[in-house]
Amino acid sequence: MITVLLADDQAMIRQAFSALLQLEPDFEVVGQAGDVAETVRKVAELRPEVVLLDVQMPSPTDPHADGIDACATIMKAQPTTKVIILTTFGRPGYLRRAMEAGAVGYMVKDAPAERLTEGIRRVHAGLRVVDPVLAAASLSIGPSPLTGRETEVLTAAASGASTAVIAREVFLSEGTVRNHLSSAMGKLGAGTRAEAVRIATENGWLT
């Protein structure tokens, strides 16, 4: 039996996937989790062989954390666990982050059911499973055009904080923060800082 843990913040999604997997004779769903902390805790407690992990997972302790951060934590503590990122967000940047965090699979939720079950079996056997369209798109993106400071400032801006708050967080003057934000927006072709954050995140340039 392949033991599986389902991690998604939507209970109905978890239950649907659980029902699907329980139809397979070689799968056992050993647990479910609805946020980042619960996922990490249950993986440590239940030791599943495979984790299906959503990207957009809330975190009660860190508003910036998501499912990919949970994956990185899991891999540090339980390096033999196989993590498949299963998400509605077919974005190359998320794929890149997921692979860097140690995931061995990245699949979109609208994939056929048989592709998901076969993907679980493949990663359990030591193989990787990545959506081919996303893999090709990820390779075509290239490196980030942002400097280290621009990345730091844009990451701090992701929470919607004011310039003054960002300045305190990154230990820069407000004028310097505005300059970095303006430069980042120009490089990304963004009209607002929120759009710049979105573009950089989708391309995997913010962590």
How many domains would you assign to the chain?
A: 2
Q: Is 44 in the same domain as 135?
A: yes
In which band, very low, low, confident or very high, does the pLDDT at 104 lie, cut at 50, 70 and 90? very high
Residues 89 and 155 in one domain: no
22 shares a domain with 124:
yes
Q: How far is CA 118 from CA 43, 103, 122, 129, in A?
A: 22, 16, 6, 9
HEC secondary structure over 26-79: CEEEEEEECCHHHHHHHHHHHCCCEEEECCCCCCCCCCCCCHHHHHHHHHHHCC
Question: Which H or E element spans position 86?
Answer: strand 82-87
Q: Which pLDDT score, from 0 to 100, does residue 30 have?
A: 97
Q: What pLDDT, in 10s, does the model give residues 30-75?
A: 999 999 999 999 999 999 999 999 988 888 888 778 899 999 999 9
Same domain, yes or no: 102 and 170: no
Same domain, 33 and 117: yes
Vertex 133, ends 131 and 135: CA angle to 5°?
70
Whole-model pTM: value is: 0.73
Residue 192's CATH number: 1.10.10.10
pLDDT at 150: 94
Evaluate whether residue 56 is within a structural domain.
Answer: yes
Alpha helices in the chain (DSSP H): 11-22, 36-46, 67-77, 92-101, 113-124, 132-141, 148-157, 163-170, 174-188, 193-202
Q: Are 138 and 204 in contact (CB under 8 A)?
A: yes
14 & 92 share domain: yes
Does the pLDDT of residue 143 top 80, yes or no? no
Which pLDDT does position 159 carry in this prediction?
85
- pLDDT of 3 reads 97
116 and 31 in one domain? yes
pLDDT at 135: 66
Length of the chain: 207
Is the domain of 41 the same as that of 115? Answer: yes
From first CA to last CA, the distance across the chain in angstroms is 35
> Are 106 and 7 within one domain?
yes
Q: Within a 10 A sphere around the Cβ of 69, how many other Cβ atoms?
A: 19
Residue corresponding to tokens 């075509």: 140
Question: Does a structural domain hold residue 26?
Answer: yes
What is the per-residue burial (b if ≥16 Cβ within 10 Å, else e) of 75-111? beebeebbbbbbbebbbbbbbbbbbebbbbbbbbbee
Instruction: Domain of residue 82: give its range.
Output: 2-140
Closest Cα to residue 117, out of 12, 18, 14, 7? 18
Is residue 50 classed exposed, middle or buried when 0-12, 13-18 and 19+ CB atoms within 10 A define those classes?
buried
Summary mean pLDDT of the chain: 90
What is the band of 126 on the pLDDT scale with cuts at 50, 70, 90?
A: very high
**Does residue 188 form part of some domain?**
yes
The answer to the question of residue 18 being in a domain is yes
Question: Residue 92 maps to which CATH number?
Answer: 3.40.50.2300
Return d(Cα 74, Cα 99) in angstroms, integer.
Answer: 13
- Please state the rounded mean pLDDT for residues 104-131: 91
Rounded percentage of the chain residues whose pLDDT exceeds 70: 93
Q: Are residues 163 and 195 in the same domain?
A: yes
Domain boundary among 111, 140, 169: 140
The residue-averaged pLDDT of 10-26 equals 94
How high is the pLDDT of residue 89?
66
